[in-house]
């Protein structure tokens, strides 16, 4: 998964290391690699969001929404993780690794950190300082965007995946479609012959 696709990795050029690693930690929590599923259902089920570079998808999507939003969001996730740790609400041990508090949490604790932010906005905005405005729009959306990136065609844009939306060209169907049994859009028009029509209607 990491050969030619990472060759032109522009995201790394402008993204701080900690930001990249925070998003990697985030997408890994939402759609992890799963050796257990692979054992049970076949190797294809091993791959997760990291393999399909969904951290990059999150970074470019957030920055398309608002310049520098990705950096600020990573900051917010790290503040949330710190609050979770200080409140002793993490359920599993923390493994500090020099990449910020968020990636030091176990995957489920990372999501609890996000849930903490969400809970607190109802009663207290000071926790969010200085991210109130950003937070306004993105907590649940981070998870939605991760799933959209993972299960949509985005990874299939291959070398063009980091280009502006109009310049992306679908190079292949993403492996996530194989994981779920989605055959991809039916090419051409189903009325060209009756057989195609029949197949589409199965």
Partner 1 sequence: MKSDFEVIVIGGGGGGAVVARELSEKGVSVLLLEAGPWYGNRKWPKPNDEQGAKSSSQYEDLSIDILKECFTDLEDDMNSLISGKFRWGPANRNQGPWERRVAHGGFTWQNSGIGGSTLHYLGNSPRAYPQAINRVWPITYDELIPYYEIVEKKLSVSPAPALAKEELFYYGAQRARWEPLETKDIMSPGYRAQPNAILRRSQPFEYTLENSKSYEPYGCSFRGHCVNGCHIGPAVEAVAKRSTFASYIPYALKTGNVEVKPNSFVIQILTEENENKEKQAIGVIVRNTWTGEISEYRADVIVMAAGSIETPRLWMNSNLPENEWVGRGLVNHWFDCVTGIYEEATLMENIGKPNIKPYVGQNSAVRFDYPGLGVIQTFGCTPGVFSSLLYASSDKGYYFENETNPESPWDFEGAVIGEQLKEFMMNYQKTLCVIIFTDDEVSQQNGIILDREQKDENGYIPIITYHPSEKDRIKRDKLAVIAANILREAGAKTVIRANWSPDIYIHILSTMRMGFVTNTDCETLQVKRLYIADNSVLCNSLGGPNPTLTTQALATRTSEKIFSKYFASYHNKPAQ
Q: List, as own/partner pairs, every contact residues 138-143 make where C-beta atoms lie below 8 angstroms and the sequence separation is at least 24, other chains included.
A: 138/62, 138/69, 138/73, 139/114, 142/26, 142/58, 142/73, 142/114, 143/30, 143/114
Question: Among 9-17, 76-84, 96-104, 151-159, which window interacts with partner 1 (CB under 8 A)?
Answer: 151-159
Is residue 48 part of the contact set for partner 1 (CB under 8 A)?
yes
Which of 34, 50, 127, 162 contacts partner 1 by CB under 8 A? Answer: 34
Residue 169 interacts with partner 1 (CB under 8 A): yes or no: no
Q: Which of residues 56-115 bind partner 1 (CB under 8 A)?
A: 61-62, 64-66, 107-108, 111, 115
154 lies in the binding site for partner 1 (CB under 8 A)? yes
Q: What DSSP designation does 121 have?
A: H
Identify each DSSP E strand in the chain by its residue range. none
Nearest distance in Å: CB 36, partner 1 = 7
36 interacts with partner 1 by CB under 8 A: yes
Tokens of 13: 């050029």
| Residue span binding partner 1 (CB under 8 A) among the ranges 9-17, 76-84, 96-104, 180-188 | 180-188
Helix axes 132-151, 107-121, angle to 10 degrees: 140
Give yes or no for a contact between 134 and 72, defined as CB atoms under 8 angstroms apart. yes
Is residue 172 at the binding interface for partner 1, with CB under 8 A as the rule? no
Q: Report d(CA 39, CA 182) in Å as an integer.
A: 21
Size of the site for partner 1 (CB under 8 A): 61
- Residue 138 within binding range of partner 1, rule CB under 8 A: yes
Residue 154: CB partners within 8 Å, gap ≥ 6?
Answer: 57, 148, 161, 174
Distance CA 75, CA 23 (A): 10
Q: Interface with partner 1 includes 200 (CB under 8 A)?
A: yes
Q: Which residues bind partner 1 (CB under 8 A)?
A: 29-32, 34, 36-37, 41, 45, 48, 61-62, 64-66, 107-108, 111, 115, 118, 121-122, 135-141, 143-154, 164-166, 168, 170, 176-177, 179-182, 185-186, 189-191, 197, 200-202
């Amino acid at each position: 998964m990491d050969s030619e696709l990472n060759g032109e990795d522009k995201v790394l050029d402008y993204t701080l290391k900690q930001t990249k690693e925070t998003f990697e930690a985030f997408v890994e929590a939402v759609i992890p690699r799963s050796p257990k599923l692979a054992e049970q259902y076949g190797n294809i089920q091993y791959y997760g969001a990291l393999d399909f570079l969904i951290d990059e998808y999150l970074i470019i999507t957030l920055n398309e929404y608002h310049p520098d939003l990705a950096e600020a969001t990573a900051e917010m996730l790290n503040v949330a993780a710190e609050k979770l740790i200080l409140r002793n609400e993490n359920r599993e041990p923390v493994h500090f690794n020099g990449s910020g508090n968020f990636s030091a949490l176990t995957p489920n604790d990372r999501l609890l950190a996000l849930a903490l932010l969400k809970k607190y906005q109802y009663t207290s905005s000071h926790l969010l300082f200085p991210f109130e405005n950003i937070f306004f729009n993105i907590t649940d959306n981070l998870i939605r965007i991760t799933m959209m990136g993972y299960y949509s065609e985005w990874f299939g844009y291959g070398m063009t995946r980091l280009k502006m939306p109009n310049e992306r060209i679908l190079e292949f169907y993403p492996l996530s479609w194989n994981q779920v049994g989605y055959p991809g859009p039916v090419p051409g028009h189903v009325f060209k012959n009756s057989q195609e029509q029949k197949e589409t209607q199965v």
